[in-house]
Amino acid sequence: MGSAGTDDKDPLVIFTPSGKRGRFAKGTPVLQAARALGVDLDSVCGGRGICSKCQITPSFGEFAKHGVTVHEDALSEWNEVEARYDRVKGLISGRRLGCQAKVLGDVVIDVPETSQVHRQVVRKEASTKPITMDPATRIVMVEVAEPDMHEPSGDFERLKDALAQQWDVHQVSAALPVLAKLQTVLRKGKWQISVALFQPDEGGVAQILEIWPNLHEGGIYGLAIDLGSTTIAAHLCDLTTGAVMGSAGIMNPQIRFGEDLMSRVSYAMMQEGGATEMTRAVREAINTLAGQIAEDAGIDPKLIVETVFVCNPVMHHLLLGIDPVELGQAPFALATSDALRLSAPDLGLSTLNPQAQIYLLPCIAGHVGADAAAVALSEAPEQSEDLVLIVDVGTNAEILLGNKTKVLACSSPTGPAFEGAQISSGQRAAPGAIEHIEIDPATKEPRFRVIGCDLWSDEAGFAEATAQTGITGICGSGIIEAVAEMRAAGLLDGSGLIGSAEQTGTPRSIPTGRTHEYLIFDGTATGGPRITVTQGDIRAIQLAKSALYAGARLLMDQMDVEAVDRVVLAGAFGAHISPKHAMILGMIPDAPLEKVTSAGNAAGHGARIALCNRAARKRIEGGVRAIQKVETAIEPRFQEHFVAANAIPHKTAAMPHLTTVVSLPDVNFGASGGGANDDGRRRRRRG
């Protein structure tokens, strides 16, 4: 059988969402390839096709991002073991068993979340900030007049009369499924019924979404969904009280078509039916997520009568079933940028109530989406007295800069490195993943914490506390802190080069080819992973943080300012990365550290505001027109800022606030070393 890297002519196997890849001899089982690469693919039956935990989804077509074309015969044909399992228990369409499918050609293989040993921890928790309740859907109870032979009228007409008299609602409509059960419900309730009334505009037309006999005490619910490039996060909210009944998330299955947005646009362009395939995948995932979150909360999903979506423009179009091809080329035209009002059947969301209403926040511009609008709704930069920079970091960063005078917005393509992807030991946030790290500047020894354990690795009881999860890899917050700590400890110079053992004074700096890597943890003696930060990891983080900084700096240019008063870090990143590490890395412009704060999941909170307050929908629909859009893809200065930001923390920008907190070593591990020495000299002069 095969092993990774056997021969350049052997088939290339690429696993998503991890991004891990290797070449394997033809006939290698997918499960074996996954284990050789350290891919998180479950199996407990020893590869006999019994447990089904190793299910995978192969993808076919042209993948420009990965530089491969996957043919239909890239895997061995369906065998009797798979056929038997499908007959007995059923396999989801398109799935294969990793222990049975064998590699025959270049292939891209997605490992669905259900097949991963270490499931992702959703880090987009609901904000606790208060929301004024004024939902578009409410429950009202009415007493309907009984039919009278002397005054003939239909039951629905008498229901409308009751709503007008008892609730001052004068324009009412109902879909056929509601009308079909109206007579039964009325008589069961002895002419008293509860009505879920959807009225998006005060005094406007109301739609009856659901009816129940007598008083309905089961409540009605809505979903606020942040549809991200990497993660789909949802909050289930009580539409009467606004209480969050549950939060859950899953990975966006579109990752297998490309980790970043432009890769997905490219897939849609080059693969016939590619956009349709991605639309189907994300809608299926949303249906699954809705069912999961309702089940966890002990709620009938048919009581979910509203859903609000926020997403970037590419996700927006693919959710709607619109080909995103125009978003892949200037002038980046959206099919529509307005807010949209739809129903659950329009998006194939069969898990919800059949009459459930869908609201999509407006997009701001070609690459500045409804997620940025949601952040603006949550953080209200237009009401700020001081100049605030709001950064919502994900695979695509949404950046807002403004105050009461004006607000600017842009989107910056940071890529998936901040999510732990494209990192040698990287993984999604899951129990066992390193999330925080410190490196002693004197000894160069690391200590770390993993998700699921509050102890540091050098504290008593750590080994016992992590025995079940193990130490499995490093997630996005961990790799960001690791790079910043390496810079502060003198393991990394200003240009991003890792020094040798002789240069750094630690055997943890290990040669690998022409570069070096820093060893954080070696668990190979007990069958665990070897976790390092490689030169390639540093470059991936440099590219991501440079794009983020360049976007922020571009907005500052447009505002004609050299500094901001405060910085708000939003998203999963914002809640888990310390301001000091963000500043050392040079992700954000220099600012007083006490003025760098976390807003948590601002986009998700904005979605909840729109779900629970119909006036907020009007406010953001008007507000996006006042936001000035800056398109990074066509701004010449973006590239200038990007190149200068490649240094850690920055090649030219002054960092006066950072230097009061930390003194970065003046080290240079390259041949010329200008960048690092320049940084050091500038810092000494300012001191």
Note whether 60 and 142 are same-domain residues: no
> Whole-prediction pTM value?
0.78
Rounded CA Rg of the chain: 27
Residue 48 lies in a domain: yes
Note whether 294 and 182 are same-domain residues: no
Boundary of a domain, candidates 506, 537, 568: 537
Note whether 226 and 361 are same-domain residues: yes
Note whether 334 and 443 are same-domain residues: no
Residue 125 lies in a domain: no
The CATH number assigned to the domain holding 321 equals 3.30.420.480
- Which residue, 137, 172, 139, 181, is CA-closest to 356? 137
Is residue 284 over pLDDT 60?
yes
Residue 573 lies in a domain: yes
Note whether 260 and 406 are same-domain residues: no
Note whether 226 and 186 are same-domain residues: no
Token duo for residue 302: 């048919």
Residue 476 lies in a domain: yes
The H-or-E segment that residue 297 falls in is helix 274-297
Longest dimension (CA), the chain: 102
Boundary of a domain, candidates 537, 564, 580: 537
- Which residue, 366, 378, 316, 381, is CA-closest to 342? 316
Residue 516 lies in a domain: yes
**Per-residue pLDDT at 680:** 37
**Per-residue pLDDT at 125:** 55
The H-or-E segment that residue 373 falls in is helix 370-379
Residue 122 lies in a domain: no
State pLDDT tens for residues 387-410.
Answer: 999 998 877 788 999 999 999 999
Token duo for residue 404: 């009461």
Q: State the Cα–Cα distance between residues 599 and 235, nearest whole angstrom.
A: 17
| CA dist 442 → 217, 478, 538, 662, 679 (Å) | 64, 21, 22, 15, 21
Lowest mean pLDDT, pick from 77-81, 90-94, 378-382: 90-94
In one-letter notation, the amino acid at residue 380 is A
**Per-residue pLDDT at 685:** 34
Residue 268 lies in a domain: yes
Q: State the Cα–Cα distance between residues 224 and 247, nearest whole angstrom.
A: 10
Note whether 38 and 168 are same-domain residues: no
Share of the chain above pLDDT 90, in %: 65
The CATH number assigned to the domain holding 180 equals 3.10.20.880
Among all chains, which residue has been given the structure tokens 């329009």? 346
Note whether 205 and 270 are same-domain residues: no
Note whether 351 and 228 are same-domain residues: yes
Residue 687 lies in a domain: no
State pLDDT tens for residues 352-379.
Answer: 999 999 999 999 987 888 999 999 999 9
State pLDDT tens for residues 572-585.
Answer: 666 677 889 999 99
Note whether 434 and 524 are same-domain residues: yes
Q: Under a CB-based contact definition with an 8 Å cutoff, are residues 212 and 181 in contact?
A: no
Note whether 265 and 226 are same-domain residues: yes
Note down the domain range covering 279: 222-372
For the chain, how many structural domains are there in total? 5
State pLDDT tens for residues 602-656.
Answer: 899 999 999 999 999 999 999 999 999 988 878 889 999 999 999 999 999 988 9
Note whether 605 and 509 are same-domain residues: no
Q: State the Cα–Cα distance between residues 536 and 532, nearest whole angstrom.
A: 11
Is residue 345 over pLDDT 80?
yes
Report the mean per-residue pLDDT for the chain: 88
Q: State the Cα–Cα distance between residues 675 and 668, nearest whole angstrom.
A: 8
Is residue 668 over pLDDT 80?
yes
Boundary of a domain, candidates 537, 557, 584: 537
**Per-residue pLDDT at 3:** 47
Q: Under a CB-based contact definition with an 8 Å cutoff, are residues 676 and 667 in contact?
A: yes
- Which residue, 642, 382, 542, 618, is CA-closest to 390? 382
